[in-house]
């Protein structure tokens, strides 16, 4: 009975460790994905700001007309 109980405890410990590791991986992927999403939004905003025509370009376009 003692050996059976020790095997049961070992099995419960193994399951608990695997659950903790699985949760760590899931949350790691989630937070990494969120971080990359935030960085990509920042890069998109940076590129959008860069693509806006400057005031000099507007003056040149308005000038000849």
Secondary structure of 46-65 in HEC code, one letter for each residue: HHHHHHCCCHHHHHHHHCCC
- What's the predicted TM-score (pTM) here? 0.55
In a domain? residue 60: no
Give the domain range for residue 40.
1-49
Please tell me the total count of domains within the chain: 1
Is residue 10 situated within a structural domain? yes
CA distances from 44 to 4, 53, 56 (A): 60, 16, 23
Whether 56 maps to a domain, the answer reads no
pLDDT tens digits, 25-59: 999 999 888 888 888 877 777 777 666 555 555 55
Domain assignment present for 12: yes
**Any domain includes 55:** no
- 54 belongs to a structural domain: no
Band of pLDDT at residue 6, cut at 50, 70 and 90? very high
């Amino acid at each position: 009975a003692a050996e059976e109980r020790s095997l049961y405890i070992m099995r419960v410990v193994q399951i608990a460790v695997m659950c903790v590791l699985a949760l760590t991986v899931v949350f790691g992927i989630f937070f990494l994905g969120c971080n990359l999403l935030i960085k990509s939004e920042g890069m998109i905003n940076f590129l959008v700001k860069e693509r806006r025509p400057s005031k000099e370009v507007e003056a040149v376009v308005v000038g000849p007309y």
